[in-house]
């Protein structure tokens, strides 16, 4: 196979933030790797770096205003956006992300971003509160759904006022690695989520560095060597949660009861049969940052499962003594050491769904409960769609009916935001 020896080109859009100066080092490092850089400065960026210093490093003209480009002899914004192999936005400020998410084209940077047919990598950098603001998180989510790749922000001390939290521009060596990765794979492997959306790169997703533990499926409680008690759970919702967590960058441990569906991609799966085995497997998978108990664990087991197959000897049906299974969710949520920062349970109800879910949240010590109606006829158990209510300490959110994969993604994005926020608020 012939290797591609053509010099790769990056169009670097420099946004207006304190971290803009790091772009000078980035251009230098990319040059060392024979990656050509052409730069666009936003108006705000010119307050932090000069076109002169950037141009000295790129060895090229630096582009600033949209209307400099009107002249036919000049290079138009369409050409500018298409001649590169990759567009990199660094630092991607809250304002720039908002304008990108809104599809604005009122300056050269946003016009280029709207016109490009090349992959785009955004490296956000801003104050932690701005990063965690629901508006910014919404914009990032939307951009990720549009296929924009993200790197960072990193968590640490901010340049201004000794503040600490997520908002630092990814370090230059990290940026270089990610840029090289994207240049090496012009059509990077799709991180396609259920809804057909993509997240650009698992190691940089919003759950990167997190360990997510998920239980899924039913349990089988043996009565004798051939008979068991179980329920209608298919494992589809729990498995979708494990898959979504992996796609968002988490390390995922899935403890699954007996199911007939495929293992989710990217999760380490531990298969169990009984509730007791599930509890053991959960305990050995801890510690975790997030634990999501989606399994429909049997509440009871046969108190004394028969060693031999029970025979139909007498006319009377045998009676079955039951013993209660230990509640896995309650055990993990109520434990002191190793309690995950976010414990999420499910409530499968057949009436007064929200009220019972609120009680379950308090009673079991979960942070959130995802409640759904599993009455026969709703098609939830075993089906592909779900209509859930998210019950938290703050209140109840009722989500519209959607595919179980979408419920999973939405839940995990909420969890990622929650953890990032806890980090800042302490």
Q: Is 368 in the site for ligand CTP (CB under 6 A)?
A: no
Which of 96, 295, 381, 420 contacts ligand CTP by CB under 6 A? 295
* 127-135, 167-175, 305-313, 322-330 -> range binding ligand CTP (CB under 6 A): 322-330
Q: Is 200 in the site for ligand CTP (CB under 6 A)?
A: no
Q: Which is nearer to ligand CTP, 223 or 295 (by Cβ)?
A: 295
CB of 240 to ligand CTP, least distance (A): 15
Which of 193, 248, 275, 343 contacts ligand CTP by CB under 6 A? 275
CB of 282 to ligand CTP, least distance (A): 8
CB of 219 to ligand CTP, least distance (A): 8
CB of 372 to ligand CTP, least distance (A): 9
CB of 332 to ligand CTP, least distance (A): 8
Marked catalytic residue, from 127, 139, 154, 231: 231
How many C-beta atoms lie closer than 10 Å to residue 317's C-beta? 7
Q: Is 347 in the site for ligand CTP (CB under 6 A)?
A: yes
* 65-73, 158-166, 169-177, 289-297 -> range binding ligand CTP (CB under 6 A): 289-297
CA pair distance 286, 301, nearest whole angstrom: 25
Q: Which is nearer to ligand CTP, 158 or 370 (by Cβ)?
A: 370
CB of 318 to ligand CTP, least distance (A): 25
Contact mark string toward ligand CTP, 385..424, x via CB under 6 A: ----------------------------------------
| Binding footprint of ligand CTP, residue count (CB under 6 A) | 15
Q: Are 330 and 364 in contact (CB under 8 A)?
A: yes
Angle at CA 338, nearest 5°, toward 329 and 236? 40
How many C-beta atoms lie closer than 10 Å to residue 137's C-beta? 18
Which of 297, 342, 391, 411 contacts ligand CTP by CB under 6 A? 297
User: Residue 32 burial by CB count (10 A; 0-12/13-18/19+): exposed, middle or buried?
Assistant: exposed
CB of 251 to ligand CTP, least distance (A): 21
How many C-beta atoms lie closer than 10 Å to residue 160's C-beta? 9
* 196-204, 346-354, 386-394, 412-420 -> range binding ligand CTP (CB under 6 A): 346-354
Angle at CA 177, nearest 5°, toward 139 and 250? 55
Q: Note if 231 is an active site residue.
A: yes
Adjacency order of strands within the sheet including 290-293? 267-271, 251-256, 211-216, 290-293, 342-349, 368-373, 388-391, 396-398
Per CB under 6 A, contacts with ligand CTP among 324-343 are 325, 327-329
Nearest partner of 18 among 153, 143, 178, 136, judged by Cα: 153
Site residues (vs ligand CTP, CB under 6 A): 215, 275, 293, 295, 297, 299, 325, 327-329, 345-348, 360
Which amino acids are annotated catalytic?
Answer: 231
């Amino acid at each position: 196979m012939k290797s591609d020896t053509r010099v790769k080109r990056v169009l670097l859009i420099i946004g207006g933030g304190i971290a803009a100066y790091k772009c000078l080092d980035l251009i230098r490092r990319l040059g060392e790797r024979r990656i050509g850089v052409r730069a666009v400065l936003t108006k705000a960026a010119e307050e932090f770096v000069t076109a002169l210093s950037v141009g000295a490093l790129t060895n090229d003209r630096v582009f600033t205003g949209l209307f400099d480009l009107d002249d036919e002899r000049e290079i138009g914004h369409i050409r500018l956006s298409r001649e590169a192999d990759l567009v990199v936005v660094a630092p991607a400020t809250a304002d720039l992300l908002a304008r990108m998410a809104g599809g604005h084209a009122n300056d050269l940077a946003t016009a280029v971003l709207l016109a490009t047919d090349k992959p785009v990598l955004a490296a956000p950098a801003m104050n932690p509160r701005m990063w965690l603001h629901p508006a910014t998180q919404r914009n990032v989510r939307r951009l990720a759904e549009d296929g924009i790749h993200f790197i960072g922000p990193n968590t640490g001390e901010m340049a201004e006022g000794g503040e600490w939290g997520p908002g630092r521009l990814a370090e230059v060596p990290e940026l270089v690695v990610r840029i090289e990765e994207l240049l090496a794979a012009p059509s990077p492997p799709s991180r396609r989520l259920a809804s057909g959306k993509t997240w650009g790169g698992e190691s940089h997703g919003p759950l990167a560095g997190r360990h997510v533990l998920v239980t899924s499926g039913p349990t089988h409680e043996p009565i004798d060597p051939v008979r068991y008690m179980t329920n209608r759970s298919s494992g589809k919702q729990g498995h979708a949660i494990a898959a979504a967590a992996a796609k968002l960058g988490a390390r995922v441990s899935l403890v699954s009861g007996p199911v007939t569906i495929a293992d989710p991609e990217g999760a380490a799966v531990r298969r169990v049969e009984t509730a007791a085995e599930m509890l053991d497997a959960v305990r050995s998978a801890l510690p975790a940052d997030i634990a999501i108990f989606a399994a429909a664990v049997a509440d009871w087991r046969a108190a004394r499962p028969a060693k031999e197959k029970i025979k139909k000897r007498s006319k009377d049906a045998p009676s079955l003594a039951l013993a209660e299974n230990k509640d896995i969710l309650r055990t993990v949520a109520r434990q002191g050491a190793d309690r995950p920062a976010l414990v999420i349970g499910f409530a499968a109800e057949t009436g007064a769904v929200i009220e019972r879910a609120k009680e379950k949240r308090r009673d079991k010590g979960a942070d959130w409960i995802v409640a759904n109606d599993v009455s026969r006829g709703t098609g939830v158990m075993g089906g592909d769609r779900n209509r859930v209510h998210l019950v938290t300490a703050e209140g109840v959110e009722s989500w519209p009916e959607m595919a179980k994969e979408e419920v999973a993604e939405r839940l995990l994005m909420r969890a990622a935001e929650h953890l990032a926020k806890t980090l800042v608020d302490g």
